[in-house]
Each structure stands twice: as structure tokens, then as C-alpha cells.
């Protein structure tokens, strides 16, 4: 077991002895010695007091505290793991879509199942836009090599391209609504992402397996967690390079 050199040096830098710190934090000197030699982590009250006395953040003196907090928060972000997309209840998709009040972000190649199971999705997104929701919708660029390669990988060839075109047709002129932006990307996707305010469904992509056959991770944003933000950062990077979509013969909602 390694000694806590940060704590030791902070005591020295403050011109104090172990006994001095123990007295001011109101613990036994042997307790402080264990904090140093055995890297024991004090109770929260004692960590705060020691930090005040030494003029250092408790996360600097005991860095594992922050690591543990991030790990715990990230574990708390996981709502449920579904073995495949079909295992996600339709009621969940519907409730998340209907409940959006701020942000709707979708990153897919085709996402046709959303329109198949929610026939009024385009109209719903349009209405959400009028009520102040910001929607960012990304679909695969039909003319891209990436989409053809993915279709071949799944064994459906140009079928994937046809699915994308169908989704875009169902989407109609929704991007003409305030707050709604539709773009096309040519990125190799490792996940399809569906963000509804503070909920995120991550449909993992597996080589050779169609998206419906792959696991879905349901995450919910938690203060201090990193998973939700990690995936959203990925979305933002792809969004930055995606190109605006201009429909032909758009359907009005």
C-alpha cells in the first residue's frame, strides 16, 4: 500500500506537524498517520476540515474520492440494458417521444422503425418544434459509400439506402419548423443514438448484425456521471460535419 504523499507534503507546506493537524481537525494523531501511511480516507467532515486547514481541495488530498464519485454516478446513469432493440417496450419509445420538452436528438442510418411504430412522428416533431423543443435529426447520406457498405454488411445491399429514403419521405418538411434541423451524415456509426431530454437510448452496432438485433442501453443523465455526456459529445462531433438535408416534394404537416 502506497503512502499518501500529497497529504504528507501539504502538511509540511503548511508548516504543520501531524499533531498540529490532528488537533485542529479534532482527531487522534494516529488517525492522521493512518491517513498518510495506509491511505485511509477520512469521514467527510474530517476531509473538509483538513482541506480548510491545509488550503487544499479534498479531491486533491484524496483523489480516489473523485474517481469513486464519478464511477458511482456513472453506474447510476444506467436505467436498463435490453438484449436487443425489439426488447425495448413500444410504450417506452412513445412516452419518451411524447414527453420531450427541450431536446430531441436522433442519430441513425435509417431509423425507419420509428416511423413504422409512430405513424404521426413527423407531425409530433413539427408540433414539438412549434412549442420550443430543439430537434436535431441525423440520417445516413443515401449516396455515401458508408451506407452501401453497411447495407452489404447486413446482407441487404441497397435495401438500407431505400429505408433511409423512406424515412426521409415520412419526415416530410419537418425541418421547416422552428427549432427543427435535419442533416445527413456519412460517418461509420458505432451506435445509433436517441436522446429525449435527459434520457438516452444507445443502440449498439455489431459487425454483421442489423441494428434491431443489437443491445440497447437506456441511460439517464445524473449529476457527476460521464456516460450520457460521453455519448452526447459523440453526437455533437458528427453533427458538426453533417450536411443539411433539403427534401424534394416535401410533405407538409
Q: Give the pLDDT confidence of 198-230 residue by residue, as tens digits.
A: 999 999 998 888 888 999 999 998 877 788 999
Averaged pLDDT for residues 79-90:
94
CA nearest neighbour of 137 among 161, 107, 170 = 107
Q: Are 35 and 71 in contact (CB under 8 A)?
A: no
Reading across the β-sheet that carries 243-244, which strands appear in turn?
Answer: 78-82, 216-220, 199-204, 191-196, 103-107, 134-140, 180-185, 243-244
Q: What is the percent of the chain with per-residue pLDDT over 70, rounded to a whole number?
A: 93
Look up residue 243 and give its DSSP letter.
E
- 196 pLDDT more than 70: yes
Strand 103-107 with 134-140, pairing: parallel
175/168 Cα distance (integer angstroms): 11
Asked if residue 175 has pLDDT above 60, the reply is: yes
Task: Please tell me the predicted confidence (pLDDT) of residue 202.
Answer: 97
pLDDT of residue 250: 47
Q: Looking at 70-84, 91-105, 176-190, which range is the least confident one? A: 70-84
pLDDT band at 93 (very low <50, low <70, confident <90, very high): very high
On the question of pLDDT at 56 being above 70, the answer is yes
Average pLDDT, the chain: 88
What's the confidence (pLDDT) of residue 159?
Answer: 83
Structural domains of the chain in order of their starting residue, each with its CATH number: 5-62 (1.10.260.40), 74-244 (3.30.870.10)
Examine the pLDDT at 88 and tell me if it is beyond 60. yes
Q: Which of the pair, 14 or 154, is modelled with greater confidence?
A: 14
Q: Residue 1 pLDDT more than 70?
A: no
Whole-prediction pTM:
0.70
172 against 250, higher pLDDT: 172
Q: In terms of pLDDT, which residue wins out, 178 or 62?
A: 178
65/210: higher pLDDT? 210
Mean pLDDT of 18-41: 89
130-174 pLDDT tens trace = 999 999 999 999 989 988 888 888 877 788 899 999 999 888 878
Q: Which three cell numbers stand for residue 121?
A: 412522428
Distance CA 203, CA 213 (A): 9
Cell of 182: 435535419
Amino acid at each position: 500500500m502506497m503512502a499518501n504523499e500529497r497529504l504528507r507534503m501539504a502538511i509540511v507546506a503548511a508548516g504543520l506537524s501531524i499533531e498540529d493537524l490532528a488537533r485542529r481537525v479534532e482527531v487522534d494523531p494516529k488517525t492522521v498517520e493512518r491517513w498518510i501511511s495506509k491511505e485511509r480516507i477520512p469521514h467527510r467532515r474530517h476531509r473538509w476540515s483538513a482541506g480548510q486547514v491545509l488550503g487544499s481541495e479534498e479531491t486533491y488530498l484524496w483523489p480516489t474520492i473523485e474517481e469513486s464519485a464519478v464511477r458511482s454516478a456513472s453506474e447510476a446513469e444506467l436505467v436498463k440494458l435490453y438484449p436487443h432493440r425489439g426488447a425495448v417496450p413500444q410504450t417506452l419509445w412513445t412516452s419518451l417521444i411524447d414527453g420531450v420538452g427541450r431536446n430531441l436528438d436522433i442519430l441513425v442510418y435509417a431509423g425507419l422503425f420509428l416511423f413504422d411504430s409512430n405513424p404521426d412522428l413527423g407531425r409530433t416533431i413539427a408540433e414539438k418544434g412549434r412549442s420550443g423543443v430543439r430537434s436535431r435529426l441525423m440520417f445516413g447520406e443515401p449516396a455515401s459509400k458508408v451506407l452501401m457498405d453497411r447495407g452489404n454488411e447486413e446482407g441487404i445491399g441497397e435495401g438500407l439506402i431505400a429505408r433511409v429514403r423512406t424515412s426521409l419521405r415520412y419526415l416530410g418538411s419537418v425541418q421547416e419548423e422552428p427549432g427543427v434541423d435535419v442533416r445527413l451524415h456519412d460517418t461509420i456509426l458505432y451506435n445509433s443514438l436517441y436522446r429525449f431530454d435527459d434520457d438516452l437510448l444507445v443502440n449498439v452496432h455489431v459487425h454483421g448484425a442489423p441494428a434491431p438485433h443489437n443491445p440497447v442501453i437506456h441511460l439517464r443523465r445524473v449529476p457527476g456521471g460521464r456516460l450520457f455526456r460521453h455519448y452526447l459529445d459523440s453526437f455533437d462531433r458528427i453533427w458538426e460535419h453533417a450536411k443539411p438535408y433539403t427534401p424534394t416534394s416535401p410533405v407538409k404537416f
